[in-house]
């Protein structure tokens, strides 16, 4: 029995000496393989583990990969923190420029267009036309987000290299009115005058009919109550319901117009993307 | 030899500089739909459940209310999830007791006790999720 226990102890000791934990280099390699395979969700905790054991001298590329993983999982604010950290650790100027673009992309995706502009305007593109074009494209997107469409057009034109495409972009932006249609205020007023009209104006016909029928039925209820009892009764029974759905109707009309306008703008923006992306094929 | 090398490097780099595309297509295309309005996250399902008569009436009534009535209303409920969604989910989860839970929720939907609830950040309304009733 004693011999058995002793041999078990010896075996355990030998095994413990042979078994080694995953080191930082192996962890990093494993994270890279996951990242390359497109499994960013799985790669993220592994990169974080690698970064933890690298402290305090964390590799800039690990931080960048962590940020890329966050960006891939639609967390631009979190990605920004790591891109920023990576930027200050990084020593290569060319990679620093690329990190500025990535930071700007995070700001664009989180709707912080002014911050994106601050990053981009403070960047020196140098003599590289590639970086200059990219910078112009990003600035164009930022101005587009800030609803300054003439400025946005100016930068998108600069970002394009082919004269025919520059002309196409100018044509897209020639009619500035289309960026402001449908107008939410107008939609709201239409629905105030005739319930449902704002929804029709925004292209939401079914919702318009619904609003018209709903508010119409409360008006009918009001008149019915007046005819069988008194206006005071109607004031307390039908009017609150009418007020609720009448007010809701014109608020929804404005909301729908705003959404429709955003969709229209997005379609225009995608046309610009098609033109500029087409140049690279 | 030295001049030849310099001239070759210059020609190669010039060729790359003048023909360099603005950016790579995947990079540009990653911004497609950047300005698309975010779809409202549905906090409920409009699926009609024909498992039994009670569920059929409940789910179809809920769908009718959401599609034809609630869609025309402004933001009225002080809670997240809204009272109608809460009622549907609590009845599904707690059965008959859920009906009383839903009535209780309606009586609380007035905003006069803000200290009792956390704020649901995305909607800025009081957060009051459905919970299992212990009987």
The Cα of A24 is separated from the nearest Cα of chain B by a number of Å equal to 31
Predicted confidence (pLDDT) per residue in A19-55, tens digit: 666 678 888 899 999 999 989 999 999 998 888 888 8
Q: Residue B13 domain-assigned?
A: no
Query: Closest by alpha carbon to A182, among A171, A197, A168, A172?
Result: A197
Q: Residue B33 domain-assigned?
A: no
Find the closest chain B residue to A242 by CA distance: B73
Q: What share of chain B is helix, strand, coil (3-state, %, to 5)?
A: 55, 5, 40
Which residues from B are below 8 Å from A130, CB to CB? 17, 20-23
Q: Under an 8 A CB cutoff, do A207 and B34 touch?
A: no
Q: Residue B95 domain-assigned?
A: yes
Residue A217 in tokens = 């039925």
What is the pLDDT, as a whole number, of residue B22?
A: 44
Predicted confidence (pLDDT) per residue in A223-242, tens digit: 999 999 999 999 999 999 99
Helices first, then strands: H and E counts in chain B:
5, 3
Which residues from B are below 8 Å from A165, CB to CB? none
Q: Residue B116 domain-assigned?
A: yes
Mean pLDDT along residues B67-74: 87
Residues B107, A272: Cα–Cα separation, whole Å: 53
**CATH topology for the A22-91 domain:** 1.25.40
Domain ranges of chain A: 22-91, 184-279
Q: Are A84 and A66 in contact (CB under 8 A)?
A: no
Q: Residue B38 domain-assigned?
A: no
Q: Residue B44 domain-assigned?
A: no
CA torsion sign for A17, A21, A23, A24 is negative
Residues B64, B82: Cα–Cα separation, whole Å: 16
Q: Which residue carries 């690698």 as its tokens?
A: A50
Phi/psi region, residue A196 (left: phi>0; alpha: psi -120 to 50; beta: rest), is: left
Predicted confidence (pLDDT) per residue in A130-145, tens digit: 889 999 999 999 999 9
Q: Are A219 and A211 in contact (CB under 8 A)?
A: no
Q: pLDDT band for position B21 (50/70/90)?
A: very low
Residue A5 in tokens = 């226990």
Prior bond of A182 cis (ω within 30°): yes
Query: Does A123 have pLDDT greater than 60?
Result: yes
Residue B74 domain boundaries: 53-127
Residues A184, B135: Cα–Cα separation, whole Å: 50
- Identity of the residue in A105, A160, A266 whose CB atom sits nearest the CB atom of B33: A266
CA gyration radius, chain B: 29
Q: Can you give chain A as a three-state secondary structure string?
A: CHHHHHHHHHHHHHHHHHCCCCCHHHHHHHHHHHHHCCCHHHHHHHHHHHHHHHCCCCCHHHHHHHHHHHHHCCCHHHHHHHHHHHHHHCCCHHHHHHHHHHHHHHHHHCCCHHHHHHHHHCCCCCCCHHHHHHHHHHHHHHHHHCCCHHHHHHHHHHHCCCHHHHHHHHHHCCCHHHHHCCCHHHHHHHHHHCCCHHHHHCCCHHHHHHHHHHHHHHHHHHHHHHHHCCHHHHHHHHHHHHHHHHHHHHHHHHHHHHHHHHHHHHHHHHHHHHHHHHHCC
3-class secondary structure, B118? strand
Q: pLDDT band for position A111 (50/70/90)?
A: very high
Q: Residue B76 domain-assigned?
A: yes
What is the pLDDT, as a whole number, of residue A19?
A: 62
Domain tally for chain B?
Answer: 1
Percent of chain A scoring above 90 in pLDDT: 69
Q: Under an 8 A CB cutoff, do B20 and A129 touch?
A: yes
Q: Residue B79 domain-assigned?
A: yes
Residues A73, A79: Cα–Cα separation, whole Å: 9
A209 touches B: beta carbon within 8 Å: no
Residues A46, A35: Cα–Cα separation, whole Å: 10
The Cα of B132 is separated from the nearest Cα of chain A by a number of Å equal to 32
Residues 25-84 of B with CB under 8 A from A: 25, 28-37, 68-69, 71-74, 76
Query: Does B18 have pLDDT greater than 70?
Result: no
Q: Are A64 and A51 in contact (CB under 8 A)?
A: no
What is the model's pTM?
A: 0.77
What is the pLDDT, as a whole number, of residue B1?
A: 54
């Amino acid at each position: 029995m004693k011999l058995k226990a002793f041999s078990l102890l010896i075996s355990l000791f030998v095994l413990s000496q042979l078994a080694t934990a995953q080191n930082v280099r192996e962890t990093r390699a494993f994270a890279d393989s996951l990242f390359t395979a497109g499994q960013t969700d799985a790669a993220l905790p592994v990169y974080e583990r690698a970064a933890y054991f690298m402290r305090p001298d964390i590799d800039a590329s690990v931080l960048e990969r962590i940020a890329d993983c966050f960006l891939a999982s639609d967390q631009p604010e979190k990605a920004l923190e790591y891109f920023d950290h990576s930027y200050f650790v990084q020593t290569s100027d060319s990679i620093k420029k690329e990190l500025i673009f990535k930071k700007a992309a995070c700001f664009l995706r989180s709707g912080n267009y002014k911050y994106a502009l601050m990053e981009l305007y403070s960047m020196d593109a140098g003599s590289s036309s590639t970086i200059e074009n990219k910078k112009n494209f990003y600035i164009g997107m930022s101005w587009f987000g800030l609803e300054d469409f003439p400025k946005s057009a100016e930068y998108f034109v600069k970002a394009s290299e082919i004269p025919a495409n520059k002309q196409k972009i100018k044509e897209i932006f020639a009619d500035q009115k289309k960026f402001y249609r449908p107008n939410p205020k107008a939609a709201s007023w239409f629905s105030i005058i005739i319930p449902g009209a704002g929804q029709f104006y925004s292209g939401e016909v079914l919702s318009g009919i619904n609003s018209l029928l709903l508010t119409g039925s409360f008006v009918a209820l009001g008149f019915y109550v007046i005819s069988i009892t008194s206006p005071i009764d109607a004031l307390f029974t039908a009017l609150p319901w009418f007020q609720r759905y009448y007010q809701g109707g014109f608020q929804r009309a404005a909301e729908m117009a705003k959404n429709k306008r955003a969709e229209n703008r997005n379609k225009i923006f995608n046309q610009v993307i098609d033109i500029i992306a087409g140049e690279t094929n | 030899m030295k001049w030849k090398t310099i001239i070759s490097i210059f020609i190669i780099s010039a060729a790359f500089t003048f023909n360099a595309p603005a950016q790579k297509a995947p990079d540009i295309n990653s911004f497609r739909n950047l300005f698309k309005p975010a779809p409202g996250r549905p906090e409920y399902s409009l699926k009609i459940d024909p498992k039994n008569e009670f569920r059929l009436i409940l789910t179809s009534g809920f769908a009718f209310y959401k599609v034809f009535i609630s869609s025309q209303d402004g933001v009225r409920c002080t809670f997240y999830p809204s009272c109608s969604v809460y009622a549907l989910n609590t009845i599904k989860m707690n059965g008959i007791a859920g009906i009383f839970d839903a009535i209780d929720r309606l009586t609380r939907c007035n905003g006069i006790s803000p200290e009792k609830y956390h704020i649901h950040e995305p909607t800025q309304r009081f957060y009051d999720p459905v919970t299992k009733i212990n009987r």
